[in-house]
Amino acid sequence: MGVIVNQDQIGNYLVFLFSPSVILNLIQGLEQKIISLDPVPEASVAADFRYGMTEECIITNMNYLEQLTHKESERQKNTLNLIASENYPSPKTLQLLGSVWNDKYAEGYPGKRYYAGNVFSDELEEFVGKKALEVFDSTGEYGVNVQVLSGSPANAMVYFTVLEPGDTVLSLNLASGGHLSHLHATSSYLKFFKYTNYSLMSKKHGLAIDEVDFKNKLKETKPRLVILGFSSYPRKYEFAKLCKLAHEAGALVLADISHIAGLVVTDLHDSPFKSNGEGADFVVTTTHKTLRGPRSALIFAKNEYMSALNKTIFPGTSGGPHLNQIAAVGQSLLEITGEDVYPDKIDFKQYMQNVLQNTSSLETGLIEVDQEVVAATQNHLCLVKLPEKCDSLDVQTLLEKVGIITNRNAVPNDDRSPWRPSGLRLGMAALTSRGILPEQARELGVAVGSLISGDTTEGAVAGFTKDMSSQLKWYF
């Protein structure tokens, strides 16, 4: 069995045996190692699932923030991450995020900066913008801004570019899978804009956009902007049909593809980048979900709107861009085009196909143990409606206790509070990056579902988590 040691203990034991110089060398050598306890028996794992660590299991010459970062790395490594909006960017991407690009201010745009020293900043921004268009747009009708910091601000940039106070926005209802930034009852944007929602309808496979309701809302509310996008909708969008309907009603269209961007760029989902009225006027995506990049975003717009959009971003609302983010986004785009590779060397389209297969397998496992899936998945996430007796916050906490990381989520027509909604949202993009196989995903679904229903023990699932996480790849 291992022992817990610290510098004082080492000194006390060795001072009687060796000279001071030998003792110092031994201590300095041990300070570079992590010394931990042997694993605790399975029966007690669930009672204190510590992600493979103890408080003493740290490198003693780390400061507090370094220790926290080390612990977070161990937490991620030793748990099974089912959060649909998270992923693991490549080490090269993370390296660029913490590179010297962080040091530089670059207010303005390439060729017109307000600071000196931006010769390479210009090259960087132009290169990443070119790669973004290469990856996403085959029409030649769109431009891109790579300076926006993340997804919600990206949506705001579109609002401030095309909306006037009092204009109406039509978006998917939050409880039906819409996103907080798409306007809702407590949104701060209501100080400026009005909102209304389109809804879902039940169909053979569970859910679909209610096109009749969509058309009626267009006619009744006359929105200036229609948002097509979601954060917890497991089905596909038909962008061409919905864009055409919106345009015929006189509205502009923003497609928020933050969750499905990886599917869109690999032709595994319909694309909003289309010519004429079948394409969205604006497209926003984050870069850290299925694109497997850093926490950042991209905004695309039809060429006629790019000048106004750029002015909204700078100088309208923002200062200097985060060049380190832009560089890291560029690296993730290179891994999509095949000019560079993720550590597993799997082609990006194959990766996304694996995500789809693994999500379907996870769902199969859940159904095997009688969990209710809201709608058969067509993308990287599945939505589970919990049994009536279950409190979703308690379920989320229980799963984290045994090392399975999830997030509670509303389901369509949910009558519970957003803090304790009726469902769980589960995604497979992150674990697919770690190399999980379809049969393992099915087993994970069975484990999650069995714990929810009380047909297995916390200790058994904690042991399952420990075993599976140890088998998966970890690149950091």
The pLDDT score that the predictor gives to residue 51 is 57
What confidence tens digit (pLDDT) does each residue in 338-369 have? 999 999 999 999 999 999 999 999 999 999 99
Tell me which amino acid residue 157 is.
M
What confidence tens digit (pLDDT) does each residue in 69-127 have? 999 999 999 999 999 999 999 999 999 999 999 999 999 999 999 999 999 999 999 99
Relative orientation angle of helices 303-311 and 151-162, to the nearest 10 degrees:
100
Active site residue 295: yes
Q: Render 133-191 in DSSP notation, one character per residue.
A: HHHH-SSS-EEEE----SHHHHHHHHHHHH--TT-EEEEE-GGGT--GGG--TT-GGGG
Q: Render 287-308 in DSSP notation, one character per residue.
A: SSSTT---S-EEEEEEHHHHHH
Rounded to 5, what percent of the chain is helix, strand, coil?
45, 15, 40
What confidence tens digit (pLDDT) does each residue in 144-164 have? 999 999 999 999 999 999 999
Grouping H, G, I as helix, E, B as strand and the rest as coil, residue 266 is: coil
Angle (CA) 305-310-314 rounded to 5° is 155
The pLDDT score that the predictor gives to residue 476 is 87
Is the distance from CB of 22 to CB of 438 less than 8 angstroms? no
Residue 385: beta bridge partners? Answer: 372, 423
Active site residue 256: yes
Is the distance from CB of 150 to CB of 297 less than 8 angstroms? yes
The pLDDT score that the predictor gives to residue 1 is 35
Grouping H, G, I as helix, E, B as strand and the rest as coil, residue 32 is: coil
Tell me which amino acid residue 229 is.
G
Active site residue 210: no
- Active-site residue identified among 56, 107, 270, 391: 107
Active site residue 289: yes
- Active-site residue identified among 93, 161, 286, 290: 286
Residues 6+ apart with CB under 8 A from 81: 405, 430, 431
What confidence tens digit (pLDDT) does each residue in 192-206 have? 999 999 988 877 667
The pLDDT score that the predictor gives to residue 182 is 81
Is the distance from CB of 90 to CB of 343 less than 8 angstroms? yes
The pLDDT score that the predictor gives to residue 61 is 87
- Active-site residue identified among 77, 86, 105, 215: 105
Q: What letters, b where the CB count within 10 A reaches 16 and e where it falls short, cover 198-228?
A: bbbeeeeebbbbbeeebeebbeebebbbbbb
171 conformational bin, left if phi > 0, alpha if psi -120 to 50, beta if neither:
beta
Number of other CB atoms surrounding residue 55 within 10 Å: 9
- Active-site residue identified among 137, 256, 281, 335: 256
Residue 326: beta bridge partners? Answer: none
Question: Could you say which DSSP state residue 197 is in?
Answer: E
Strand spans (E) along 49-182: 80-81, 108-109, 112-113, 142-145, 168-172
Grouping H, G, I as helix, E, B as strand and the rest as coil, residue 458 is: helix
What are the tokens at 344?
């597993």
- Active-site residue identified among 235, 274, 289, 466: 289
Grouping H, G, I as helix, E, B as strand and the rest as coil, residue 136 is: helix
Grouping H, G, I as helix, E, B as strand and the rest as coil, residue 129 is: helix
pTM for this model (two decimals)? 0.87
- Active-site residue identified among 75, 236, 241, 295: 295
Q: Please state, in angstroms and rounded to a whole number, the distance separating the CA atoms of residues 210 and 199.
A: 6
- Domains delineated in the chain: 7-77 (no CATH), 80-88+345-471 (3.90.1150.10), 96-337 (3.40.640.10)
Extract the residue ranges of the chain whose pLDDT is less than 70: 1-59, 204-205
Q: Please state, in angstroms and rounded to a whole number, the distance separating the CA atoms of residues 291 and 300.
A: 16
Active site residue 237: no
Averaged confidence pLDDT in the chain: 89
Q: What letters, b where the CB count within 10 A reaches 16 and e where it falls short, cover 439-463?
A: ebbbbbbbbbbbbbeeebebbbbbb
Active site residue 434: no
